Amino acid sequence: MIPTRQSKQGWDQNDTKTESPVTVAIELHLHLEGSLRPERISALAQQYGRPDVVRACLTDDGLALRPCRDFPDFLELFKATTSVLRTPADHHAVALDLGEALAEQGVKYAEVTVAYGVLQKRGFDPVPIQRALWEASDEIFGHHGLHLRWQPDATRQWGPDAAWRVLEDALRAGAGLGVVAFGLGGDEAALPVAEFAPHFREARRDGLGTTCHAGETGGPDSVRDAVLIAGVTRVGHGVGAAADQDVLRLLAETGVHVEMCPGSNVATGVLACREDHPMRAFLEAGISCNLNTDDPTFFNTTLADELSEAMRLLGLTKGEAKAMEVSALAASFAPDPVRQAVAALI
């Protein structure tokens, strides 16, 4: 029997004539903190005596994260939920939750962002936490054959000094604890990416991949600067690039990969609806891109949802979906043996 999904995917329950759904095996833009399950938030909030976090973050029935009003409200929600994510043990549990959820959908490789900047701001050492995440990754691989790798990220609005501390700890954790990249997230409007160009340069020199949230709330200039000044090989979201043909051409010519997150862009108010997402413009320009959830429990989405909605509303074909998967693997920061193992699976 065909697996049953929620009705928004448009697959008839028990319809044995429906073709098998195309699945997505790779996710590149996914925040650990944005995958916190409501029941995990409740349990952690209780553990730390913070019932206010449940009130601030969950719906009245406690079964889901509350919707965001806009992008600043999303940042507030992120801040509140992460306030109950503290110890290595907390992170281990959350990583297992996420790994199980991804494995259930048939994901074989995922790069997960961890907000080292937030951890440091709260006085926690990210390295023991990274060790716990890596142990959880090992368990998930053992049970499901899913490869998890990790991307520490700095928070743009906290500036270059804080970002140096993130990079330092990312390198201290290193490939031995599954760290493959250095990223920049947070409020895109706060500071120009040029402030972080030296960090990206240093990260690359030390063997890390580099990715940057750009063109999420910012315009084409933000994407152009991420490519030309910061030198990243991937941009998160990239929606703003669509306003300038030159920037689309730049992405295509440089082969910089766009980690698209349409559900997120609608949930944070960046786009009015999924139909407004420039996925088709990216594909027509020949830009390497793939679909991602960003913060799946915050935005009540899954990778399977992103795929089916892109097919339904943006005309994504099965062939294009497969091609996206191939380009996602090529753009990933997976170590070579992992890349080869995943290539054999997709």
Stretch of 130-138, 147-155, 238-246, 290-298 lying at the interface with Zn ion (CB under 5 A):
290-298
- 188 touches Zn ion (CB under 5 A): no
Shortest Å distance, C-beta 111 to Zn ion: 11
Please enumerate in sequence order all residues whose Cβ is within 8 A of that of 284, keeping only pairs 6 or more positions apart, or say none.
none
215-221 long-range contacts (CB < 8 A, ≥24 apart) are 215/239, 215/240, 215/241, 216/71, 216/188, 216/240, 216/265, 216/270, 217/71, 217/187, 217/188, 217/189, 217/268, 217/270, 218/188, 218/189, 219/243, 219/244, 220/244, 220/246, 220/247
Q: Looking at beta carbons, which residue is closest to Zn ion?
A: 294
Stretch of 98-106, 133-141, 289-297, 335-343 lying at the interface with Zn ion (CB under 5 A):
289-297
Among the options 27, 111, 216, 259, which is catalytic? 216
For residue 110, what is the enclosing H or E element? strand 109-114
Stretch of 37-45, 50-58, 120-128, 292-300 lying at the interface with Zn ion (CB under 5 A):
292-300
- 294 touches Zn ion (CB under 5 A): yes
- 33 touches Zn ion (CB under 5 A): no
Identify which of residues 264 and 327 has a Cβ nearer to Zn ion in the complex.
264
Stretch of 8-16, 130-138, 202-210, 291-299 lying at the interface with Zn ion (CB under 5 A):
291-299
Helix (H, G, I), strand (E, B) or coil at 152: strand
**Beta partners for residue 151, in sequence order:** 113
**Beta partners for residue 294, in sequence order:** 30
Q: Which of residues 204-223 bind Zn ion (CB under 5 A)?
A: none
Shortest Å distance, C-beta 236 to Zn ion: 5
What is the four-CA torsion angle of 113, 116, 122, 125, rounded to 10 degrees?
Answer: 120
Alpha-carbon span 282 to 259, nearest angstrom:
11
Stretch of 96-104, 136-144, 288-296, 311-319 lying at the interface with Zn ion (CB under 5 A):
288-296
**Beta partners for residue 58, in sequence order:** 65
Alpha-carbon span 158 to 117, nearest angstrom:
8
Alpha-carbon span 200 to 256, nearest angstrom:
15
How many chain residues are in contact with Zn ion, going by CB under 5 A? 1
Identify which of residues 97 and 294 has a Cβ nearer to Zn ion in the complex.
294
Shortest Å distance, C-beta 112 to Zn ion: 11
Dihedral pair phi/psi, residue 43, rounded to 5°: -65, -45
Shortest Å distance, C-beta 96 to Zn ion: 21
Shortest Å distance, C-beta 257 to Zn ion: 14
Identify which of residues 57 and 112 has a Cβ nearer to Zn ion in the complex.
112
Shortest Å distance, C-beta 95 to Zn ion: 17
Q: Which of residues 90-119 bind Zn ion (CB under 5 A)?
A: none
Specify whether 216 is catalytic: yes
- Counting Cα atoms < 13 Å in the Cβ hemisphere of 284 gives 8
Question: Which residues are annotated as catalytic?
Answer: 216
Q: Using CB under 5 A as the criterion, which residues of the chain lie in contact with Zn ion when the complex forms? A: 294
